[in-house]
Amino acid sequence: MPICELRGVSRTYGSGPAKVHAVREIDLVIEAGEFTVFVGPSGSGKTTLLNMVGCLDQPSEGEVLIEGRPTAGLSDRALAHLRAERIGFIFQAFNLIPVLTAVENVELAVQLGGGGDGRARARQALAEVGLTGLEGRRPNQLSGGQQQRVAIARALVRKPALVIADEPTANLDSANGAQVLELMRELNEKHGTTFIFSTHDAMVMEHARRTVFLHDGRIARDEVRAAPAPRAGEGR
């Protein structure tokens, strides 16, 4: 069963002459364990599409199924629960809570999902992204790359089925960006977690197994590479 399926999904903003078709009639199936990137120029609809895949937003037309279940009729509370349980998010601007330490940020994700043992699980997740020793730091005491690792730990701590990452490397230099992508890839292979991320950076898309090209809100091309992508040259 696919992790996520989009059927005839469109999303428009506004109405009348100012109406914007951000995403048009998308059909897309994401299978479990995929490492997929949405690529396209700015304004092509990547974020809009990720919003709907991640159940942050509802399509204007068409339907989104998560693990085979339609999401259209779900209440706000049920959607919140679904996101907490099954979906993790990584953002371009990291979006850590500035008043919480690294470990508290991760622990918050455990507790929002209703899980126990949050502190221990948060420490373990931070260890997995290589941040042991920095648990007590606040976001402003961490580098951009470190912050994004905390965000990855936060997204993965509840072992979600799907992780959504909107331009996760856009605020990082290329070395840090490559490390973050490599980390995501490792976690994808180790836990089988499905990753969907977006980028407009050609270097970044080379890490992906599957590349979905967007143009003006439509899928222009959908490529799957048979072999694992080569690792970035300038990494370790």
Ligand X SMILES: Nc1ncnc2c1ncn2[C@@H]1O[C@H](COP(=O)(O)OP(=O)(O)O)[C@@H](O)[C@H]1O
Within 144-173, which residues bind another protein (CB under 8 A)?
A: 154, 166
CB burial of residue 41 (10 Å; 0-12, 13-18, 19+): exposed
Q: Is 113 in the site for another protein (CB under 8 A)?
A: yes
d(CA 195, CA 208): 9
Residue 13 CB, nearest distance to ligand X (Å)? 3
Stretch touching another protein by CB under 8 A, among 60-68, 104-112, 142-150, 208-216 = 104-112
Residues 152, 181 contacting (CB under 8 angstroms): no
Q: Is 108 in the site for another protein (CB under 8 A)?
A: yes
Q: Is 97 in the site for another protein (CB under 8 A)?
A: yes
Binds 194, which of ligand X, Mg ion, another protein, none (CB < 5 to 8 A, cut-off by type)? Answer: none
Strand arrangement of the beta sheet that strand 69-70 belongs to: 20-30, 4-13, 61-66, 69-70
Within 24-53, which residues bind another protein (CB under 8 A)?
A: 47, 50-51
Other C-beta atoms within 10 Å of 53: how many?
25
C-beta of 52 vs 142, nearer to ligand X: 52
Q: Is 74 in the site for another protein (CB under 8 A)?
A: no
What is the enclosing helix (H) or strand (E) of 223?
strand 218-224
C-beta of 111 vs 174, nearer to another protein: 111
Q: Is 201 in the site for another protein (CB under 8 A)?
A: no
Reading phi first (left if > 0) and then psi (alpha if -120 to 50, else beta), residue 190 is in: alpha
Residues in the chain, overall count: 236
Binding-site ranges for ligand X (CB under 6 A): 13-14, 20, 22, 40, 42-48
Locate 48 and state its tokens: 């809009």
Residues near another protein (CB under 8 A): 47, 50-51, 54, 56-57, 76-77, 80-81, 83-85, 89, 91-93, 95, 97-100, 104, 107-109, 111-116, 118, 154, 166
